[in-house]
Chains A and B, each alone.
Chain A
Amino acid sequence: MNVLLLLIPISLILGGAGLVAFVFALRHGQFDDPEGNAARILEDREPE
Chain B
Amino acid sequence: MSTTACPGCVAQTDRVAQIDRGLSGEIRAYHFSLPTLHCAGCIATVERGMAAMPGVRDARVNLTLKRLTLNAPDRVEVEAQVLDQLARLGYPADALDAGTLGRATGDATGRALLLRLGISGFAAMNVMLLSVAVWSGAEGATRDFLHWVSALIALPAALYCAQPFFSNAWAALKVGRMVMDTPISVAILLALGVSLYETTQSGAHAYFDAALSLTFFLLLGRVLDHHSRAAARSAAAELAALEVSKVERVTDDGIQVVAAPELRTGDRVLVRAGERMPADGTLREGATEIDRSFLTGETIPLPATAGTAVHAGEINLTGLIEIEVTAAGEDTQLHLIAEMVRAAEAAKNSYVSLADKAARVYAPVVHLVALIAGGAWFAATGDLRLSVNVATATLIITCPCALGLAVPSVMVSASGALFRRGVLLKDGTALERAARIDTVVLDKTGTLTTGKPQLVGEVDERALAVAGAMGAGSAHPLAQALASAAAGLPKVPLTGLREISGYGLEAKQDGVRVRLGRAAWIGAAETNETATWLKVGDGDPVPFYFADTPRPGLQTMVDRLKSNGLDLILLSGDSKGPVRRLADQYGIAQARSGMTPQEKQDHVNELVAEGRHVLMIGDGMNDTAALAAASVSISPASGMDVTRNAADILLMREELNAVPEILHIAQSARLRMFENFGLAASYNAVAIPIAVAGFATPLAAALAMSASSICVSLNALRVRLAGTQ
- Does the CB pair A43–B40 fall under 8 Å? yes
- Does the CB pair B63–A26 fall under 8 Å? no
- Complexed CA–CA distance, A11 and B150 (Å): 13
Q: Which of chain B's residues have a CB closer than 8 A to the CB of A47?
A: 47
- Does the CB pair B65–A33 fall under 8 Å? yes
Q: Which of chain B's residues have a CB closer than 8 A to the CB of A15?
A: 122, 125-126
Q: Which of chain A's residues have a CB closer than 8 A to the CB of B114?
A: 26, 31
- Does the CB pair A26–B61 fall under 8 Å? no
Interface check B19, CB cutoff 8 A: no
Instruction: Name the interface residues of B137-163: CB closer than 8 Å to any CB of A.
Output: 141-142, 145-146, 149, 153
Instruction: Name the interface residues of A15-37: CB closer than 8 Å to any CB of B.
Output: 15-16, 18-19, 22-23, 26, 31-36
Distance in Å from the Cβ of B132 to the closest Cβ of chain A? 12
Q: Which of chain B's residues have a CB closer than 8 A to the CB of A32?
A: 62, 64, 107
- Does the CB pair A48–B51 fall under 8 Å? yes
- Complexed CA–CA distance, A1 and B142 (Å): 7
Interface check A6, CB cutoff 8 A: no
- Does the CB pair A33–B63 fall under 8 Å? yes
- Complexed CA–CA distance, A5 and B628 (Å): 65
Distance in Å from the Cβ of A44 to the closest Cβ of chain B? 10
Instruction: Name the interface residues of B479-496: CB closer than 8 Å to any CB of A.
Output: none
Q: Which of chain B's residues have a CB closer than 8 A to the CB of A8?
A: 130, 149
Q: Which of chain B's residues have a CB closer than 8 A to the CB of A16?
A: 122
Contact of A19 among B47, B62, B63, B122 (CB under 8 A): B122
Interface residues on A, range: 20 to 34
Using known A-B contacts A40-B43, A43-B40, A48-B51, determine if residue A33 contacts B126 with beta carbons closer than 8 Å.
no
Interface check B115, CB cutoff 8 A: yes
- Does the CB pair B126–A23 fall under 8 Å? no
- Does the CB pair A39–B63 fall under 8 Å? yes
Chain B residue at smallest Cβ distance from A27: B111
- Does the CB pair A23–B142 fall under 8 Å? no
Q: Which of chain B's residues have a CB closer than 8 A to the CB of A18?
A: 122
For B, the interface residue count at a CB cutoff of 8 angstroms equals: 29
- Complexed CA–CA distance, A1 and B114 (Å): 36
Interface check B44, CB cutoff 8 A: yes
Interface check B118, CB cutoff 8 A: yes
* Count of chain A to chain B residue pairs whose CB atoms are closer than 8 Å in the complex: 59
- Does the CB pair B64–A35 fall under 8 Å? yes
Q: Which of chain B's residues have a CB closer than 8 A to the CB of A33?
A: 62-65
- Does the CB pair A22–B118 fall under 8 Å? yes
Using known A-B contacts A8-B149, A15-B126, A36-B64, determine if residue A43 contacts B111 with beta carbons closer than 8 Å.
no
- Does the CB pair B62–A36 fall under 8 Å? yes
Contact of B39 among A11, A19, A39 (CB under 8 A): A39
Q: Which of chain A's residues have a CB closer than 8 A to the CB of B62?
A: 32-33, 36
Interface of B, helix, strand, loop or mixed by DSSP = helix
- Does the CB pair B130–A26 fall under 8 Å? no
Chain A residue at smallest Cβ distance from B47: A47
Q: Which of chain B's residues have a CB closer than 8 A to the CB of A12?
A: 126, 153
Contact of A39 among B40, B107, B111, B149 (CB under 8 A): B40
- Does the CB pair A34–B64 fall under 8 Å? yes
- Does the CB pair B43–A43 fall under 8 Å? yes
- Does the CB pair B115–A40 fall under 8 Å? no
Distance in Å from the Cβ of A13 to the closest Cβ of chain B? 11
- Does the CB pair A26–B111 fall under 8 Å? yes
Q: Which of chain A's residues have a CB closer than 8 A to the CB of B39?
A: 39
Chain A residue at smallest Cβ distance from B152: A12
Q: Which of chain A's residues have a CB closer than 8 A to the CB of B141?
A: 1
Q: Which of chain A's residues have a CB closer than 8 A to the CB of B118?
A: 19, 22-23, 26
- Does the CB pair B115–A26 fall under 8 Å? yes
- Does the CB pair A4–B142 fall under 8 Å? yes
Among A12, A22, A39, A42: residue with most chain B CB under 10 A: A39
- Does the CB pair B64–A45 fall under 8 Å? no
- Complexed CA–CA distance, A33 and B716 (Å): 23
- Complexed CA–CA distance, A19 and B153 (Å): 14
- Complexed CA–CA distance, A8 and B127 (Å): 10
Chain A residue at smallest Cβ distance from B65: A33
- Complexed CA–CA distance, A40 and B43 (Å): 8
- Complexed CA–CA distance, A4 and B126 (Å): 14
Q: Which of chain A's residues have a CB closer than 8 A to the CB of B40?
A: 39-40, 42-43
- Complexed CA–CA distance, A39 and B62 (Å): 11
- Complexed CA–CA distance, A31 and B119 (Å): 16
Interface check B721, CB cutoff 8 A: no
Chain B residue at smallest Cβ distance from A14: B126
- Complexed CA–CA distance, A47 and B60 (Å): 11
- Complexed CA–CA distance, A26 and B118 (Å): 10
- Complexed CA–CA distance, A31 and B40 (Å): 17
Q: Chain B 39-52, CB within 8 Å of chain A: the 1/0 string?
A: 11001100110010
- Does the CB pair A19–B43 fall under 8 Å? no
- Does the CB pair B122–A39 fall under 8 Å? no
Q: Which of chain B's residues have a CB closer than 8 A to the CB of A11?
A: 126, 129
Q: Which of chain A's residues have a CB closer than 8 A to the CB of B125?
A: 15
- Complexed CA–CA distance, A7 and B559 (Å): 67
- Complexed CA–CA distance, A4 and B119 (Å): 23
Q: Which of chain B's residues have a CB closer than 8 A to the CB of A35?
A: 63-64
Distance in Å from the Cβ of A11 to the closest Cβ of chain B? 6
Chain A residue at smallest Cβ distance from B227: A34
- Complexed CA–CA distance, A26 and B122 (Å): 15
Distance in Å from the Cβ of A8 to the closest Cβ of chain B? 6
Distance in Å from the Cβ of B55 to the closest Cβ of chain A? 16
- Complexed CA–CA distance, A31 and B227 (Å): 11
Chain B residue at smallest Cβ distance from A48: B51
Distance in Å from the Cβ of A42 to the closest Cβ of chain B? 4
Distance in Å from the Cβ of B61 to the closest Cβ of chain A? 6
Q: Which of chain B's residues have a CB closer than 8 A to the CB of A39?
A: 39-40, 43, 63
- Complexed CA–CA distance, A43 and B40 (Å): 7
Closest 9 CB pairs of A and B: A36-B63, A39-B40, A42-B40, A19-B122, A35-B63, A35-B64, A33-B62, A22-B118, A33-B64
- Can you identify 20 A-B contacts, CB atoms within 8 angstroms? A4-B145, A11-B126, A15-B125, A18-B122, A19-B118, A22-B122, A23-B115, A26-B111, A26-B118, A31-B114, A33-B63, A33-B65, A34-B64, A39-B39, A39-B40, A39-B43, A40-B40, A40-B43, A42-B40, A48-B48
Given A11-B126, A12-B153, A36-B64, 15 more pairs with CB closer than 8 A: A1-B142, A1-B145, A4-B142, A11-B129, A15-B122, A19-B118, A19-B119, A22-B118, A23-B115, A31-B114, A33-B63, A36-B63, A40-B43, A42-B40, A43-B40
